Amino acid sequence: MTKKNGIHFEISERKILLRIIDILMTFLGIFILCRYFEFDYLTISMANATPLAVLAIYISIFGTIFELYDLQQSSRLDISFRNIVLCMSTVLLFYLLTPFVTPFLPEARLQIVYFFIALVGFVFIWRVVYNTLIESPRFYKNVLVVGELSNIEKVVNTLSSADPNYKFVGFINSELTSEDSITYKGLKEYQPQHLATIILEEHISEILVATTNVEHITADLYHELMLLLERGFKIREYTQVYEEVTNKVPIQFVGKDFYKYFPFSRNNENQLYRFFHRMFDIIVSLIGIVFGLAILPLIFIGNLISNKGPLFYIQERIGQNSTLFTIYKFRTMVVDAESNRAQWAQKNDSRVTKFGKFLRRSRIDEIPQFFNVLMGHMSIIGPRPERPFFVAELSRSIPFYETRHIIKPGLTGWAQVNTRYGASVEDSLTKLQYDLYYIKHRSFFLDANIILKTLSTVLYYRGQ
């Protein structure tokens, strides 16, 4: 039973594969240019180790910013081609502008055109290969679900949408059934006594246990699962897989054993991490304030013509440890937008002015919050601060909502770069799942990932 039934690349493995082969294909393109064309701007040799390493770093960084390693986008060749062109254009620009670590411009400027075509062409060829082979059914992971009938549909829909290569073959009901029991027709149902046969016939790679209470698993099924586990077969718990695949904490599955789900990151108490985090906040906020002052005349004129009212919008928000602080933003809505009561901001909200829409989508409206960061009310990275009215409302509807206040709120965060604007309790639940994931896993690497994704949001004009 320990024999592997097929090859499947996990999400993290596919992202690493995309990055590594991107760089190797780039080097292959350079090698072919040198071999068959009159190209000597950059050659594959030990003497050029530093320029080649810089090129690889640029591709990795800007590839993240321009979403070359977003698996949903990588599965579509039209979007992949657009992202590759944008990424490689930026890579080439930075490469040419850093001659102290890269080669000087060649005398024949046509070589730059050859270089750009090679960067785009060979990386795109790899994307075609990736979509033809890695994204093909032969690399799908065949999964069997074990759980209560009430959970099966939610589990299947969530993981299938997050990772199309995660193929659910069928399910086994973990509870005792009766004539009055509900049924689920979305997947084929198997019986527990046939578990070993199903694994062989359907080439099952993994069993996913999705139950809110282990006591719901029948004794016979529990015995079968234990035998498989002792033989080395891969059996995983749903919440673990959910967190890996979606990068969210599944609080809808959190019960009385909630403490198992929140082993928060040690970096929350790590003094060195917190020191560098604060230094980063101070440096970036000072740069942001200087930039804000530089463009303030333009914002003032735009506000005078379009917004017709106060330049700034001031509000109370909930900060770390549920303390109140005052937040500053450039005003983007009409005056007295909430004259009646506090309202959720909606997509295409009619209260947002034309100039305000530009400020929101470019994230320029958030620039005054650099002052909040400098004062220590906020951080550059963290859960977005919410208004007291909505916190009180959401805390009654969503379990563990106030847990997001154990760290400073942020100018940007894991929820902001992974989901759209929260305009309902359901949206706030999704955002909370991302916020708790950040609090649980926060690190220098995750912070860097958020910064790069934020740059991507600004470049693609996706702010709301």
Mean pLDDT, range 326-339, rounded to an integer:
80
pLDDT at residue 177, rounded to an integer: 64
Q: What pTM, to 2 d.p., does this model score?
A: 0.80
Residue 311's contacts (CB-CB under 8 Å, 6 or more residues apart) are: 299, 300, 303, 330, 331
Q: Quick check: 141 and 172 in contact, CB under 8 A?
A: no
| Poorest-pLDDT segment among 6-15, 65-74, 79-88, 187-196 | 6-15
Nearest to 109 by CA among 39, 30, 28, 27: 39
pLDDT at residue 167, rounded to an integer: 87
Q: How does the average pLDDT of the chain come out, rounded?
A: 85
The Cβ of residue 256 has, within 10 Å, a number of other Cβ atoms equal to 6
pLDDT digits (tens, 9 = 90+) for 194-231: 888 888 888 888 899 888 767 778 888 888 888 888 88
Mean pLDDT, range 228-236, rounded to an integer:
87
pLDDT at residue 261, rounded to an integer: 64
pLDDT at residue 374, rounded to an integer: 95
Between CA 204 and CA 142 the distance in angstroms is 5
Q: Quick check: 16 and 148 in contact, CB under 8 A?
A: no
pLDDT digits (tens, 9 = 90+) for 238-296: 888 888 888 888 887 766 566 666 667 777 778 899 999 999 999 999 999 999 999 99
Between CA 118 and CA 32 the distance in angstroms is 9
Between vectors from CA 226 to CA 221 and to CA 227, what angle results, nearest 5°? Answer: 100
Mean pLDDT, range 299-315, rounded to an integer:
87
Given a cut of 60, whether residue 372 has pLDDT beyond it is yes
Between CA 367 and CA 332 the distance in angstroms is 13
Q: In three state form, how does the secondary structure of 396-444 look? A: HHCCCHHHHHHCCCEEECHHHHHCCCCCCHHHHHHHHHHHHHHHHHCCH
Residues in a beta bridge with 209 = 146, 237
Q: How far is CA 413 from the centre of its chain?
A: 10
Question: Phi and psi (nearest 5°) for 208?
Answer: -110, 115
The Cβ of residue 47 has, within 10 Å, a number of other Cβ atoms equal to 8
Q: Are strands 141-147 and 206-210 parallel, antiparallel or unpaired?
A: parallel
Nearest to 162 by CA among 243, 82, 236: 243
| Poorest-pLDDT segment among 78-92, 178-192, 348-362 | 178-192
Question: Phi and psi (nearest 5°) for 117?
Answer: -60, -40
Given a cut of 80, whether residue 405 has pLDDT beyond it is yes
Given a cut of 60, whether residue 184 has pLDDT beyond it is yes
pLDDT at residue 382, rounded to an integer: 94
Q: Are strands 379-381 and 188-190 parallel, antiparallel or unpaired?
A: unpaired
Higher pLDDT, 82 or 267: 82
Local confidence band at 410 (pLDDT 50, 70, 90 cut-offs): very high
The Cβ of residue 404 has, within 10 Å, a number of other Cβ atoms equal to 25
When mean pLDDT is compared over 218-232, 373-387, 448-462, the highest value belongs to 373-387
Q: In the chain, pLDDT over 90 holds for what percent of residues?
A: 34
Given a cut of 70, whether residue 341 has pLDDT beyond it is no
Given a cut of 50, whether residue 9 has pLDDT beyond it is yes
For the chain, which domains are there?
11-134 (no CATH), 140-246 (3.40.50.11060), 266-459 (no CATH)
pLDDT digits (tens, 9 = 90+) for 105-151: 887 888 999 999 999 999 999 999 998 887 766 678 889 998 888 77
pLDDT at residue 3, rounded to an integer: 47
pLDDT at residue 414, rounded to an integer: 93
Between CA 462 and CA 412 the distance in angstroms is 13
pLDDT at residue 61, rounded to an integer: 92
Q: Report in angstroms the alpha-carbon separations of 318 from 48, 268, 369, 409.
A: 52, 19, 14, 8
Amino acid at 219: A
pLDDT at residue 215, rounded to an integer: 72
pLDDT at residue 259, rounded to an integer: 64
Local confidence band at 179 (pLDDT 50, 70, 90 cut-offs): low
Residue 273's contacts (CB-CB under 8 Å, 6 or more residues apart) are: 267, 443, 444
pLDDT at residue 33, rounded to an integer: 92
Would you list the DSSP string of 359-373?
HHHTTGGGTTHHHHH
